[in-house]
Amino acid sequence: MRVRVDVLFDDADRRAALHEATLRGLKETPKQIPAIWLYDERGSVLFDEITRLLEYYLTRTERAILEERAREIASETRAETLVELGSGTSEKTRLLLDGLVAGGTLRRFVPLDVSEEVLIASAHAIAEEHPALEVHAVVGDFERHLSALPVGGRRVFAFLGSTIGGLEVGARKSLLRAIATSLGDEDMLLLGLDLVKDRARIESAYSDRSGLSERFQRNGLVHLDRELGSDFSQGRFEHYATWDSEREWVDIGFRSMGAQVVRVPRLGIEVAFADGERLRTSVSSKFRRARIEAELADAGLQLGLWWPDADGDYALCLSRRCQFARPAAQARARCVAPTFGETVAV
């Protein structure tokens, strides 16, 4: 059993970055806080319970696709290294990992996450399950530390759980471009994507009848208060999760029930809320194939394989870095990926 851990982002770095992002977000319109506040120990337990709710279709649907397609993904990628972005406990990736191991090419697993304690525990668990596999855990931020990931051999980068939907458009564009820059000619990117569907189904996934999603969100305020000395959790806020059809995302957070001021001592600020003003805790973008294909192409990636579930609720897609060709007679470049037979104009 071989486990290596590289720490590129320690607890002090994490805290400083989180505090800075929180200060910046509370000055924006609408006011917002980073979604990472939702995932302390209690929040992680609550979210795990959410994934088992009938209304929350994402986890079970992605799992079903992986159960059906893991061997095909292994055959297509022939991956020697699996890189998991934002791995956490690596639960999302276990089926994929098993399929790649069964495919006979996988030699190394590289989970990347900001939480050192959770990452190390999951790395050792994976190493015990797959003793022949080299496990190289990297404590870091997938928006900052892609260039520090180990190279060599064919790699597949997995970004599952529709986690990419939690990034706003600008951040998503930056991340996809960073991934494209990091990929070698034989490397591939596997994305899990929640697809656009009926508004009621989408909203109920983030505001379930049992109130579990609201408890998860309110726990994020408790976590923030505990670390920053603030009193958000004592304020008068009502939870909301609203589908925005123009942006095609779910806007999730709280609305102020009356005018109020919240103190945030460790950031040295007081935050004034008008009646009905929002405090956004997260967004969750939903995708159409044409949209993600365009975003990938803009980043220099070509979408090659698309695996939706039977109901069209969710999809996995596999892409790789473009090789650009611009013949003199053509005004536009062509993105050509040798494994995939299509070309995409960019």
Output phi, psi for 282, to 5 deg. -170, 165
Alpha helices in the chain (DSSP H): 11-26, 41-50, 58-77, 94-103, 116-129, 169-182, 199-206, 212-228, 289-299
Q: Which structural domains are found in the chain, ordered by start?
A: 58-198+287-345 (3.40.50.150)
Neighbours of 24 (CB within 10 A): 11
DSSP state of 324: E
Amino acid in the structure at residue 7: V
* Cα angle value 118/193/35 (rounded, 5°): 45
Structure tokens of 121?
A: 């525990």
Q: How many CA atoms lie within 13 A of 39 on its CB side?
A: 13
CA nearest to 128, candidates 97, 104, 150: 97
Q: Give pLDDT, residue 88.
A: 67
Q: Give pLDDT, residue 341.
A: 43
Structure tokens of 335?
A: 């993105």
CA nearest to 137, candidates 68, 58, 83, 65: 83
Residue with tokens 């060599």: 152
Task: With beta carbons less than 8 A apart as the criterion, state whether 107 and 134 touch.
Answer: yes
| CA 181/CA 112 separation, integer angstroms | 17
Structure tokens of 232?
A: 């958000």
Q: Give pLDDT, residue 1.
A: 63
Burial (CB < 10 A; 0-12, 13-18, 19+), residue 280, is middle
Residues 6+ apart with CB under 8 A from 109: 81, 82, 84, 97, 126, 130, 133, 134, 135, 136
DSSP state of 195: B
Per-residue pLDDT of the chain (346 residues; tens, 9 = 90+): 689 999 998 889 889 999 999 999 999 999 999 999 999 889 989 999 999 999 999 999 999 999 999 999 999 999 999 999 987 666 778 899 999 999 999 999 999 988 888 889 889 999 999 999 999 999 998 888 898 899 989 999 999 999 999 999 999 999 999 999 999 999 999 999 999 999 999 999 999 999 999 999 999 999 999 999 999 998 899 999 999 999 999 999 999 999 999 999 999 999 999 999 999 999 999 999 999 999 999 999 999 999 999 999 999 999 999 975 444 444 455 565 555 544 333 3
| CA 95/CA 117 separation, integer angstroms | 23
Burial (CB < 10 A; 0-12, 13-18, 19+), residue 157, is buried
Q: How many CA atoms lie within 13 A of 226 on its CB side?
A: 11
Q: Give pLDDT, residue 297.
A: 97
Residues 6+ apart with CB under 8 A from 154: 77, 78, 79, 80, 81, 105, 184, 186, 187, 188
Structure tokens of 24?
A: 């910046």
Task: With beta carbons less than 8 A apart as the criterion, state whether 162 and 192 touch.
Answer: yes
| CA 128/CA 118 separation, integer angstroms | 16
Terminal-to-terminal C-alpha distance of the chain: 45
Q: How many CA atoms lie within 13 A of 182 on its CB side?
A: 23
Structure tokens of 297?
A: 């192409």
SS3 readout for 14-51: HHHHHHHHHHHHHCCCCEECCHHHHCCHHHHHHHHHHC
Q: Give pLDDT, residue 343.
A: 35
